[in-house]
Structure 1
């Protein structure tokens, strides 16, 4: 017990929880906290110029480390600004303590400027949301929130912090953090049942999701896939690399359209999902992802995902890294010699198909090297050729990413991060969070031009922190993904070639001037030859660099 001001207690509690950075954008309701930073140094405060960017940075740090990230927002408008990126964090299961300054309790009932019920605003996007009413309650509330955020299934939590909580002083018990063991093993009887189903399968199919990379379970999933001879597909809009892209059993990305998923699953007699959602669709196609009667085995840390959309014969609630070894051993015990031979034959067939797919992607990309303007596949291949093997790619190039996982190899769980939630503007800030988390690894951001504009202020933070990140803008001067989908409707736009409110050409976007306005080195390139010179220089630089790449604008 010690007499302490709330603003100092808050920072001490964050330090107890292992928080290294507090991402934020302060306003009047955060001034008491910022006053503490006149004498406090940790956790380091990382200034973003917009709350959405602050949330994206916290997201990038959280998923790259698996540790708690913290972000502080400004009252109701600040929380509102951050909700798009908070939605992404929710879908990605990013452990983030989200806090926002609130007015002093003495005037809250009068609904002063910037006031709203913050806990209610945040609640749909977080695992737990509440307002701290007194300094005495702060340790219990903060430690509980952090425990909830880090307990699988991990995710963001929210605390509203009235000014009186931070400005008061009291003799309080600071308590201590609690950590819930994450290595949950699935029930033994369900493992046995799943093993029976998998051992009996003649053509199994594996879907791998973010729970695999979050638990660093690549080796365990590889062992299962090799044992049963199954192709491994990853989610098209994944948060991370859930299977090594260079492995012979990596079959690529599964689409988010029901007809295509159903066509794929009907080639197999058993669907095995390891940490994947079944199924987040993108557009209605008139078909379910799975036909009635599809047999499913599903392992996940989140009980909500098990049997959520489709009946599951074996639903295993457990951590992939902890559960997969037991499941794999149980399958091996049930395999006869004929089963092992059949699995070996499947491995060979799948490996040949994977090798052929990669060769085809590389061949197509190389055939486009001489095209003008730059073709996205050729650009991705060149980037893959230039990047070192330990590079981390943060990607948000929706209409330009076909072939990316074959052309830019991502083999470890921290090598790739993508747009899990679908809320655009994530690549620039998440790359900053990832670089803070992994300062010794090269981090590269790939962003579309439209997406970059949602969080362009992030470049200021990268320059302010001197984070050596190459920011590559795939610039097609439009919302090309929207054009593609509008064109697919096959009606007025497809016939006339007019796409309302989807071109970014009047005025033209000048990304290099934006970057240079913050003192950041920047260059615009229009040929692959220029990219071949600019990217290695950016990787060697001690400063962030923006490379604005003019790519093909055609659909």
Structure 2
């Protein structure tokens, strides 16, 4: 196992150990170059590995403990599956010699994990372990990337027997999409009156941001990020960038209305949050779709042209095809119009933020003014790890990120990802400042990760936006329930009184903490992240839910 891990470039194993992992821990005593990174709960452990895999660009290894540890880690595995993060997950199973007697913590671990991973297997014989481990790494990397799970009985790990270690396969990288289909896509796009591009997370994952910029500029096409995107898939500051699509099919349809050709690149079928009966593609619009996973083409909407291939070379080929006959007709005019709209949105943002600043100059701060202050204070090379739900949507409108890898999120939606992901991001060789922007509820799901940040001495700044409630649920409830609005009551959705004291919680885990009272204090605290030498938590009291005008009316 250790030989294969070394050949696969594994230098860390993220885990929370139990008795069934003791043979692995014992072997790591004599292993050079492999560090065991301890987390206090499996949810934090999986999130750390997720952040690490994204930062390094290679599969990360997770060690879980028996049935209980697997169950604790499933939420993080669901996140990794949705975000297409390559993980190899090793879970210690009970000794085979008494499995039939239902020993403590035993169970069908592979069945427990299977819905959350690409593949799940139990190793029955020591001779099978090398082959299954090689296969796990290959499967985790292959598009669509994701977690692969191996249940390994304790006595298998401890067994001393000759085994054959298969050589690592040398797999050629995926190439560009079919040339004929690419030419057809270019004909549709150059003939469009109002093309639009949806930038999915496949663009950022595959390092294709520059190539997508070239395609967008060739067409003069507006670019929208996929709903709740996980990364920087197009520069936020580019005049063709028009923000993020809403996370409902009705919102997507409205945003795409009036565009005759829609180029969708590297996104998983829009992943709506709330149900709406609408189809996401407007009537009369034609879809051109590109993805490295052929199963995505036409999955939820028909594609007039479907391109299957690695995103980066496919976009490069498409860009060359678009400009083969010279500048695309109408591109310059469309680009100028998009720049004018972008300037208008920026001016409107400034006016809105100014009003929010004036309305709440001290704690509890306006959520919009608070995230704007965070965004303005960030160093240009900062990496933002976001898990803030309602405030996170506002933050996306405030950020001015340009560098790929500058934003980390999980579209999976399983809470508790942010703290661990920030730890893993920093561990992954990121010399860039790492700032985690977190909601109070999300923080409580992954609080144990602060201990790992303190133990490892990682320079990560954790910004906790504390409104003392589950605001996203109150906002949603108001949209269709008259009872909650009329009564001003939201059962089960308040975290205060008493308010959670995140300064005290951080200090429990060895992380220095402060609570800010003004926007100026917040800006100063976040701005210091570039010179941080260890972890720090900033608690930001923000205003809570305000019933929407007209909420609860029949609609």
TM-score, normalised to structure 1, is 0.95
CA deviations on 1:29-49 (whole Å, 9 max, x unpaired) are: 111211223333432111110
Aligned partners of 1:152 and 1:302 also within 8 Å: yes
Q: Determine the C-alpha separation between the residues in 2 that align with 1:540 and 1:195.
A: 47
Select which of 440, 443, 447 maps to 1:449. Answer: 440
**Per-residue deviation, 1:444:** 0.6
For the residue of structure 1 that corresponds to 2:161, the secondary structure is: strand
Residues 1:147 and 2:135 are matched in the alignment: no
Residues 1:39 and 2:39 are matched in the alignment: no
**Per-residue deviation, 1:148:** 0.9
- How many residues align structurally? 543
Aligned partners of 1:275 and 1:301 also within 8 Å: yes
Q: Determine the C-alpha separation between the residues in 1 that align with 2:429 and 2:246.
A: 30
Find the counterpart in structure 1 of residue 550 from structure 2: none
CA deviations on 1:188-227 (whole Å, 9 max, x unpaired) are: 2211221111111111110001110011111100000000
For the residue of structure 2 that corresponds to 1:526, the secondary structure is: coil
Find the counterpart in structure 1 of residue 475 from structure 2: 484
Select which of 229, 247, 252 maps to 2:243. Answer: 252
Q: Determine the C-alpha separation between the residues in 1 that align with 2:418 and 2:169.
A: 32
**Per-residue deviation, 1:383:** 1.6
Q: Determine the C-alpha separation between the residues in 1 that align with 2:402 and 2:517.
A: 30
Select which of 242, 247, 253 maps to 1:262. Answer: 253
Q: Determine the C-alpha separation between the residues in 1 that align with 2:354 and 2:91.
A: 50
Give the direction of change, closer, same or farther, for the CA distance of 1:179–1:512 in structure 2 (3 Å limit).
Answer: farther
Find the counterpart in structure 1 of residue 429 from structure 2: 438
Find the counterpart in structure 1 of residue 18 from structure 2: 27
Find the counterpart in structure 1 of residue 200 from structure 2: 209
Find the counterpart in structure 1 of residue 551 from structure 2: none
Select which of 157, 160, 163 maps to 1:169. Answer: 160
Find the counterpart in structure 2 of residue 517 from structure 1: 508
Select which of 318, 321, 334 maps to 2:312. Answer: 321
Q: Determine the C-alpha separation between the residues in 2 that align with 1:148 and 1:203.
A: 40
Give the direction of change, closer, same or farther, for the CA distance of 1:96–1:264 in structure 2 (3 Å limit).
Answer: same
Find the counterpart in structure 2 of residue 6 from structure 1: none
Select which of 224, 231, 255 maps to 1:233. Answer: 224
TM-score, normalised to structure 2, is 0.95
**Per-residue deviation, 1:441:** 1.0
Aligned partners of 2:122 and 2:152 also within 8 Å: yes
Q: Determine the C-alpha separation between the residues in 1 that align with 2:102 and 2:343.
A: 63
Aligned partners of 2:28 and 2:34 also within 8 Å: no
After the TM superposition, which residues 114-193 of structure 1 pair with which residues of structure 2 at under 5 Å, given as runs?
114-193=105-184
Find the counterpart in structure 1 of residue 498 from structure 2: 507
After the TM superposition, which residues 314-463 of structure 1 pair with which residues of structure 2 at under 5 Å, given as runs?
314-333=305-324, 339-340=328-329, 342-370=330-358, 371=360, 372=362, 373-463=364-454
Q: Determine the C-alpha separation between the residues in 2 that align with 1:53 and 1:169.
A: 33
CA deviations on 1:231-273 (whole Å, 9 max, x unpaired) are: 1000231111111111111110000122222122221001110
Q: Determine the C-alpha separation between the residues in 2 that align with 1:115 and 1:548.
A: 41
Find the counterpart in structure 2 of residue 4 from structure 1: none
Find the counterpart in structure 2 of residue 79 from structure 1: 70
Deviates more, 1:35-44 or 1:115-124: 35-44
Give the direction of change, closer, same or farther, for the CA distance of 1:465–1:412 in structure 2 (3 Å limit).
Answer: same
**Per-residue deviation, 1:137:** 1.5
Q: Determine the C-alpha separation between the residues in 2 that align with 1:481 and 1:438.
A: 34
Find the counterpart in structure 1 of residue 88 from structure 2: 97
Q: Determine the C-alpha separation between the residues in 1 that align with 2:504 and 2:528.
A: 19
CA deviations on 1:288-331 (whole Å, 9 max, x unpaired) are: 21234431000001122110111111110111111111112222
CA deviations on 1:408-429 (whole Å, 9 max, x unpaired) are: 2221220001131111111111
Q: Determine the C-alpha separation between the residues in 1 that align with 2:349 and 2:167.
A: 53
Q: Determine the C-alpha separation between the residues in 2 that align with 1:363 and 1:457.
A: 39
Select which of 213, 228, 237 maps to 1:222. Answer: 213
Q: Aligned-residue CA RMSD in angstroms?
A: 1.6
Q: Determine the C-alpha separation between the residues in 1 that align with 2:288 and 2:388.
A: 32
Aligned partners of 1:419 and 1:426 also within 8 Å: yes
Aligned partners of 2:475 and 2:545 also within 8 Å: no
Aligned partners of 1:24 and 1:48 also within 8 Å: yes
**Per-residue deviation, 1:12:** 2.5
For the residue of structure 2 that corresponds to 1:170, the secondary structure is: coil
